[in-house]
Amino acid sequence: MAFSTALSGLSAASKNLQVTGNNIANANTTGFKESRAEFADVYANSLGGGNLTAGSGVTVAAVAQQFTQGSLEFSDNTLDLALKGDGFFTLGESLTDTEGRLYTRSGEFKLNNDGTVVNNQGKPLLVYRPNGTTVEEGFSQGVLQTLQLDSMQGLPTPTSTVNEQVNLDANKPDISATTFDPSDANSYTNQTSVSVYDSLGNSHSLTSYFVAGGLDASNNREWEVYHYIDGNPVNVSSPGAGGVTGTGGVVGEKLVFNSTGQLVAPTPGSGILGDVQLGSYTIPGSSASPLAIKMSYGNSTHIASAFSIDALNQNGLPAGQLTGLNIDDSGVVFARFSNGGSKPLGQVALTRFANPQGLAKLGDTMWGASSDSGEAISGAAGTNNFGEVQSSALESSNVDLSAELVNLIIAQQAYQANAQTLSTENTITQTILNIR
């Protein structure tokens, strides 16, 4: 009986050495989770029971992985991802089988020869599909797809809004009696231009001409503004402060300022002070969609200071090439383009389990779901108890080498002690057999 007890101790100590050695061997493995050998004593059953049973040794009850957080090591690779908190990255079984799911804490991702983001074993990282072209439109958590960057281009965005905040010099004389003509510099007071873009990404010059006017019945100062694209007139649609007409019948708008130099009109149908909606403009000789631009003169002023452009920007973009990626802490992957635009490509799909220790170990720092782990719970970083995603960082192994070396000594002593039990039992047996 003592032989089998000692043998069970040797087997348990050997398993402990194996587990400890595996932890030490993977001390530098990204995303690795250390294990520990858990033991249980063994007793033989008897009909009568009682407390005289010495015990039958030990057994290894489980080799349990410890899913504690590893430290983060930062890198220069945007596709290096680390999780700060609960959850696993979700991987496809292969590029053609994304229904088969694997899970990992190792975020060493890179591009393959097709431009798809994969790990070192070629398993694709899965992301939630974007619902549109902005983060505000959200992501479909029921639709997982691979993340592909091959030859991606930034599509052009036609200009729909121009923000033009100016100061019009209050000392300028009234010249509104002269019919406005863009070819006659004496018929306007100031001008400014901005580049706008059509649906094909072509650039066009939008010029605003300002004409100093006189006082209205309320003693407010009036100015006129006219608009041209590539030298062609563009009428104001439904003027909000009363339309004005220049040469060739171009329709402009009145900008009205009060005694403190603040803009008080126009207020169009949108109800937003300073908005001026231009009519549809068809680009000559182009298949691009007609431009329909809203000018925003809100916060413009009329004070005794030189003409100035305090803000001038528009929301259009030309075509662009992919220049890089950004991944925020919610796991949203943005493509950056040379035209200054960006586009969400997806949101990193995360998965967690009620019992991660029940996951099936598959090697290569990957796990699979099992009946012991519970159902996979999908979600996004920073929500529903999921951790956050850290780009340009990797999660180190959670192995504490100092503690493992201590465990190694303890396991060695346990092995030697059980071997001594076996040797002692053998000596006693030989003594009994040698009695004559």
End-to-end Cα separation, the chain, in angstroms: 24
Residue 51 has pLDDT above 70, yes or no: no
Which pLDDT belongs to residue 9?
78
Reported as a pLDDT band with limits 50, 70 and 90, residue 416 is confident
Residue pointed to by tokens 């249980």: 40
Which pLDDT belongs to residue 349?
98
Which pLDDT belongs to residue 436?
55
Which pLDDT belongs to residue 10?
83
Residue 48 has pLDDT above 60, yes or no: no
Say how many C-beta atoms besides its own lie within 10 A of residue 354's C-beta: 11
Distance of CA 320 to the CA centre of its chain: 21
pLDDT in tens, 378-397: 999 999 999 999 999 999 99
Which pLDDT belongs to residue 412?
85
* Pairing mode, strands 294-296 and 161-167: parallel
Q: Which residue has the higher pLDDT, 269 or 362?
A: 362
pLDDT in tens, 185-219: 999 999 999 999 999 999 999 999 999 999 999 99
The whole-number average pLDDT for the span 100-107 is 97
- Which of left, alpha, beta for 58 (phi over 0: left; psi -120 to 50: alpha)? beta
Predicted TM-score of the model (pTM): 0.74
Query: Are 102 and 323 contacting, i.e. CB atoms less than 8 angstroms apart?
Result: no
34/36 Cα distance (integer angstroms): 7
Which pLDDT belongs to residue 50?
56
Which pLDDT belongs to residue 224?
97
Say if residue 410 is exposed, middle or buried (CB neighbours under 10 Å; 0-12, 13-18, 19+).
middle
Domains of the chain, first to last: 2-68+397-433 (no CATH), 72-153+322-395 (no CATH), 161-314 (2.60.98.20)
Which pLDDT belongs to residue 258?
97
Query: Which amino acid, residue 263?
Result: L
Residue 426 has pLDDT above 80, yes or no: no
Mean pLDDT of the chain: 91
Nearest to 331 by CA among 133, 130, 113: 130
Which pLDDT belongs to residue 331?
97
